[in-house]
Structure 1
């Protein structure tokens, strides 16, 4: 039996907006959730462009670096390579309770929608769908073409949750981090993981 109350698979792909995925990783680890993390090669490139992080190349070193940065407990964060087919997420018997692709490129969206499974990220999403697990797709693209919309509809009909990176403003954000936290809070809500980043609609902000 697992020492962790819950396990979530998190995939970062090469869309702009890696801040959403990294902040979600931080919040998941802080909540005591075990995380199976997957980064595509384009995601590594975008992280270098959009953040000051210098990520090591090896998976074990990457797990230590991110685990140290976000305070992961021993054994809480596992990082898998794009072609690591022996990873638990590649099989229904080892799949996490939920999976989030954040941010998600339109290419990844398309591949998941047709079951391409060319990489571990795509295979893990395919497994989540076939096992009827929660799959949240945080698409980061605009404008959306008919192809994108059709793929989103196809996945929605399969049971996936389409959650485009579309932060609200009713909480009156004053920093970029507030916009990031808006989206991360909505993702955590759908994962049913308690969060204090954003109060529910109609409830006063505890920090106000």
Structure 2
């Protein structure tokens, strides 16, 4: 099954093995995985998702560095719609450690018994990993289940959609969806600013406790 807690190291190696021409992505079992009953990662040509190009600008404009230790940098980014935690570094063990701390913190604050909802986009270039984790509150927006066919929108955001390439299986939705509706959908499936502020503080505290105690 999809289980990033016990397979994150494989994700990192997959990014490295496909460098520098591909971005690798992971969809959690409850937020976009096409087959949640078995473990799988997917990859696409680097830069086909706008996030690959926008990340540095988003980090500079909206990001906050939570910790810097050895080669590892951990950032929290809120661009007004998407809530992200990112890891950058050149050491597999350092990024793995930080991810496990993140996973534990996220699971505790959301009160989940199973894997908390997240989508991940990673890459490896110039001997350095970059992993972006999108924190999800909800799998699908209400519009997906709308009884009125004219109002229903079959968009179930996963990593690629969140990365900036929204895929709609119906031509009708592709032709009629608006920027405002996309903002509404993203707002609905991501945590709000208040939660993200609380989580940032918790994650930073947990990281500092681990590395500095």
Q: TM-score, normalised by structure 2?
A: 0.25
| TM-score, scaled relative to structure 1 | 0.25
Identify, as 1 or 2, the structure richer in strand: 2
Higher relative contact order (CA 8 A, sep 6+): 2
